[in-house]
Structures are given as C-alpha cells and as structure tokens.
Amino acid sequence: MNNTCVLVTCPMFTYLEQELETRFNLIKLWDHSSSKAEFFNNYSSSIKAVVGNTKVGADAKLIDSLPNLEIVASYSVGLDKIDLDKCKQRGIKVTNTPDVLTDDVADLAIGLALAVLRKVCVCDQFVRSGNWISGDFGLATKFSGKSVGIVGLGRIGSAIAKRAEAFQCPISYHSRSKKPNTNYKYYSNIVDLAANCEILVVACALTEETHHIVNRKVIDALGPKGFLINIARGAHVDEPELVSALLEGRLGGAGLDVFENEPEPPEQLFALDNVVLVPHVGSDTGETSKAMADLVISNLEAHFKGKPLLTPVI
C-alpha cells in the first residue's frame, strides 16, 4: 500500500498524518496551495483516497478532479462537507467516525448547558480579576429539572438525553420521524418543541432540510428564559437572528461550539455574559481524536485490502 496515494485536505491531527504516512504515500493538499494547477497535473490521477474533516471535505469540484478516487474517509461523523450524491454516482465509498465521538460531544452539550445556566466562565473570570473581594457574585439559574428539547435523536441526541435525565430534566425531541423505542415526548414541529422546553439542543445532521432549522420563529418560541445549545453545525442556526435575539434579550442565553463562519464567530457575542463560546471542540479530546484517527486508518486499510469497511456511509 506504500505507493497508494492518499490526499489529506487540511491539517487535522498530527498522529493521523503520521499514521497515514507510514502506510501510504501521503499528499498534503495545503503543501500545494500556491501551485494548484501543477499539483493536479502531477498527482490527480494517482490519488485513490481523500481524508477530509469538518473544515475541508470532498466537494464536487475536488471529486471531479480525481478520476481514480475510490474512497473518501472523513475524520468526522458529519458528512455535510462531502458531496454524497457525486460519490454515489461515481461509486466512491465514504466512511466517517460515528460512535467513538458520541460521548465527547454529548459531554460538551451538558458542559455548555451547565456553564451557561450557572455562569461558570463568568464566575471564573470574576474570581481571577479580583472582583470577589468587592462583593459576592449574583445569582444564576438552576439546571436540574429544566426541560430539555433535542433536535435530532440519533446517537449524539440520545447520549445527551441520557445524561440530562440524571439531572431530572424532562426530555422531549423533534426529528424527521417519531422514534419507536423511547419514552421521550415527540414534537413533529420544531417550533412546538422550542415553545415547550427551556433548553433547546441541536444534535441533528446538517442537510438541505435542516439548514437554518433554528430560525427567528424557533428563537421567539424559545424566548427570553430559553437557552440554545449548538454542538452540531453553525449552519443549523440563522446566526444573525440568533445574535440579535441575544443582544436584545429576546433569548435567555446560548452555548455554542459551532458557527456559520468558523473560525470567526460574531464579535457582538464577545461582550455577553449569557453565552459560552467554544472553538468547535466537540470531539477534541486526546482520547477521542486518536480513536477517530484509528478508525480512519482502519477504514482505509480495509478498503485497500478488499475487506469490509468498518463504518461505511455509502
């Protein structure tokens, strides 16, 4: 396999690149950014695999330029940066990294909810700036018992629900269809879900249908005592609407791991103390990154050895 050419689309994880390099002829797309035409002339017909992530995947343009592409292995569970239709058309396999990152993302969702409601980061700053000497901090909002509404009850959504239940949070959800094996309350309409919960969590896949699924109507329904937690994709939320709702006090607060234009979240949020903003770290722990990388490697090895893929999408 050592002369099999694998293209990695952007820097993602040193361990992954090292492991790929020991097994394949690894080509780093960003090493050739100044000479794209030359790059494609030299390498395009030898590239058999692409490793992408949440930033740079495999769009139609890239796929079209690689005539011998056999497999796209995503270092993510989300597939929104891959042109799945084009892959299907061309018979290109696609794999992702489900399950291994479910716990981390669910942990982060709960961590964000606790941090926002209990003002953990604001309090930490209050102590470090020496302000506690001048007086006690004010009161925050209790988390236990708050109703949690989950958009998308897949692996991650279910993991969030299980955790929230331990805090006695009543759970409700919205998804494309009602799930048969759960006791959680189902809402076929996301606005109804938002109107009937205090903490709304986005945990669904990003598709054409779910683009801006959290819009003005949903934000209004969630209201000035409601909180939005987004650990999915920035494009799930109409960001300008979210920003103005937060600035105007029409939404109680938000915990956000993702934004429409990463790495540039809206600066108007930076002065607010009812938001927690983290830089797309949902699965960014040492343990999970390694597990994701191992899964990418295993999928590629399986493919080039003619064995069944471990986590195929198509």
Partner 1 sequence: MESIGVLMVCPMNSYLEHELEKRFNLFRFWTVPEKSAFLATNKNSIRAVVGNSSAGADAELIEVLPKLEIVASFSVGLDKIDLAKCKEKGIRVTNTPDVLTDDVADLAIGLMLAVLRKLCESDRYVRSGKWKKGDYRLTTKFTGKKVGIIGLGRIGMAVAKRAEAFSCPISYYSRTEKPEIKYKYYPGVVELAANCDILVVACSLTEETLHIINREVIDALGPKGVLINVGRGPHVDEPELVSALVERRLGGAGLDVFEHEPEVPEELFGLDNVVLLPHVGSGTVETRQAMADLVIGNLEAHFLNRPLLTPVV
Binding piece for partner 1, criterion CB under 8 A, among 1-9, 78-86, 149-157, 262-270: 262-270
When asked if residue 270 is in the footprint of partner 1 (CB under 8 A), the reply is yes
Binders of partner 1: how many residues, by CB under 8 A?
A: 55
CA distance 273 to 188: 33
When asked if residue 64 is in the footprint of partner 1 (CB under 8 A), the reply is no
When asked if residue 114 is in the footprint of partner 1 (CB under 8 A), the reply is yes
Write the CB contacts of 72 (distance below 8 Å, at least 6 apart in sequence). 49, 50, 51, 52, 57, 58, 63, 82, 87, 92, 93, 94, 95
DSSP states along 149-214: EEE--SHHHHHHHHHHHTTT--EEEE-SS--TT--SEE-SSHHHHHHT-SEEEE-SPP-TTTTT-B
From 8, 29, 94, 108, residue interacting with partner 1 (rule: CB under 8 A):
108
The single residue of 174, 233, 236, 303 carrying the catalytic annotation is 233
When asked if residue 123 is in the footprint of partner 1 (CB under 8 A), the reply is yes
When asked if residue 261 is in the footprint of partner 1 (CB under 8 A), the reply is no
Strand partners, 83: none
> What's the alpha-carbon Rg for the chain, to the nearest Å?
21
The encoded tokens of residue 138 equal 């004010």
The encoded tokens of residue 203 equal 């945990």
267 a catalytic residue = no
Q: How far is the CB of 42 from partner 1 (least distance, A)?
A: 29
Amino acid identity at 199: I
Residue closer to partner 1, measured from CB, 249 or 263: 263
From 66, 94, 115, 297, residue interacting with partner 1 (rule: CB under 8 A):
115
CA distance 62 to 117: 43
239 a catalytic residue = no
When asked if residue 189 is in the footprint of partner 1 (CB under 8 A), the reply is no
When asked if residue 104 is in the footprint of partner 1 (CB under 8 A), the reply is yes
CA distance 75 to 101: 11
Return the closest-CA partner of residue 28 out of 48, 7, 47: 7
280 a catalytic residue = yes
Q: Pattern 144-173, binding to partner 1, x per CB under 8 A? A: xx----------------xx-xxxx-----
Active site amino acids: 233, 262, 280
Question: Which residue ranges make up the site for partner 1 (CB under 8 A)?
Answer: 103-104, 106-108, 110-112, 114-115, 118-121, 123-128, 132-133, 136-145, 162-163, 165-168, 262-265, 270, 276-281, 284-289
